[in-house]
Structure 1
């Protein structure tokens, strides 16, 4: 649902390119942060989900917004809503990325759409990322971002709601999202969003009940559990956030057949994914 004057069609098709190098140090930092939740890969290849550490959008401190993200109006359109969340995405795997690779990421805005949600207006921005090495495109990803209205000061967090319970899993991991884990993952991805490490901001400004567990971190856990169960890398992986997952208690990562999800015992499904092998 757009307001009068909210026309962001000029941003559709806008592209940027960045090049990054897969260094042994970055690879080691990724491993020590997420072990033992990484599926085995062939020697020299990066673990699943590592591509989110490459080519982060860089902005000087003076160009950051109050939430710690780069201000809108550069590559991303100036959406008139302040709260940003990682809504989900779709990944196609074509080839492995290896230590020492120069990886070129081309990012293109493919859609900007306003809608009316249950709790107010929402804006969705779709971004296509293609990661290529000297051997060709390795990963193609559609990233979906959602923007929401500001939280009402002093209001209690809304009750968490999610999708239907997927049922009994075939394999599970239990993960405790400590502040250190969330901070380390933010550092790995150069993610300045304060909801992941600044508890007074997350609770007092954005209205969450604790620090928020990153969407891509949940996706990494689901993806690696599924790959470890199959001993294979999927061809396709689609996932979407259903309910915010916050720190403070352990949550489960689960997989059954081609479906995977995150969920606290007795709570709503927070993120759900589907895999094609």
Structure 2
């Protein structure tokens, strides 16, 4: 068992209505923004619980330097591969909350493109002493890309959706989402770094932003969500228009070329 398993820390935050209002505008939602005392929409806790660090504690990618809370496994590229959430009780905007985080598992595996490290982090968010949200975050670390290696072939997305929505992105939207979530990963705002160091075709749309769009779609059809899980299967670039799809409890993001970029389930 890796010695990082069991590491934990706690962050405290008051759920500022101004941040919720900013995310409401960024996402282009209709109607008034959620205000103080209102329930926080699902997954909006991502814009809270900031942990700002000085530059010397950041890695080359702009994220928190590995080797501290997250162990250094010799693999520099980080991806948020997926997650699972249980919404147990509404979080209220304007009220202080605590987020407890613990490393639940660390595993090394050999993938088709080389070694992979899988780290599972569990978050629990409390408000007024009550557990309101459980979240498992699945992180993957891998080697730098080999420029001569063929790119992985993503899965083909389903086309039998009953509900669909198209969404487009641009560099400004990605920068603003990075700012609201205090996500320093340079693949979302530094196109030269994204292309030349991490091997992408442009700026990468945040996986959690795609999951957020699916959650809003699910909530409009199902009402208040009890659970949501998602897994990223292919990156989306900032210049692409994607289709968010839903059929029953199944949801997915389809790229313009028909590839599956994310799959999810909601209840």
Tell me the TM-score normalized by structure 1: 0.90
Q: Which residue of 1 aligns with 2:216?
A: 224
Alignment of 1:1-277 (within 5 A): 9-36=2-29, 44-134=38-128, 136-152=130-146, 154-155=147-148, 158-162=151-155, 164-230=156-222, 232-276=223-267
Corresponding residue pairs, total: 265
Deviations 1:201-240, CA, capped at 9 Å, x for gaps? 001110001111111111101111111122x122111111
**Is the 8 Å Cα contact of residues 69 and 191 (structure 1) preserved in structure 2?**
yes
| CA distance, structure 1, for counterparts of residue 100 and residue 154 of structure 2 | 35
Note the C-alpha offset of 1:56.
Answer: 2.8
| CA distance, structure 2, for counterparts of residue 134 and residue 28 of structure 1 | 23
What SS does the aligned partner of 1:208 have?
coil
Note the C-alpha offset of 1:157.
Answer: 7.2
Q: Cα–Cα, structure 1 residues 159 and 115, in superposed 2: closer, same or farther, change >3 Å?
A: closer
**Is the 8 Å Cα contact of residues 177 and 250 (structure 1) preserved in structure 2?**
yes
**Is the 8 Å Cα contact of residues 37 and 221 (structure 1) preserved in structure 2?**
no
Tell me the TM-score normalized by structure 2: 0.94
Q: Cα–Cα, structure 1 residues 208 and 155, in superposed 2: closer, same or farther, change >3 Å?
A: farther
Q: Which residue of 2 aligns with 1:4?
A: none
| CA distance, structure 2, for counterparts of residue 216 and residue 136 of structure 1 | 25
**Is the 8 Å Cα contact of residues 115 and 121 (structure 1) preserved in structure 2?**
yes
RMSD: 2.0
Q: Cα–Cα, structure 1 residues 157 and 98, in superposed 2: closer, same or farther, change >3 Å?
A: farther
| CA distance, structure 2, for counterparts of residue 268 and residue 32 of structure 1 | 29
Deviations 1:103-150, CA, capped at 9 Å, x for gaps? 100000000000111111100000000011005111100000000111
* Structure 2 stretches lacking a partner, 5+ long: none
* Structure 1 stretches lacking a partner, 5+ long: 1-7
Note the C-alpha offset of 1:41.
Answer: 7.8
**Is the 8 Å Cα contact of residues 12 and 110 (structure 1) preserved in structure 2?**
yes
Deviations 1:229-255, CA, capped at 9 Å, x for gaps? 22x122111111111111212111111
| CA distance, structure 1, for counterparts of residue 184 and residue 54 of structure 2 | 11
Note the C-alpha offset of 1:167.
Answer: 2.9
Note the C-alpha offset of 1:267.
Answer: 2.3
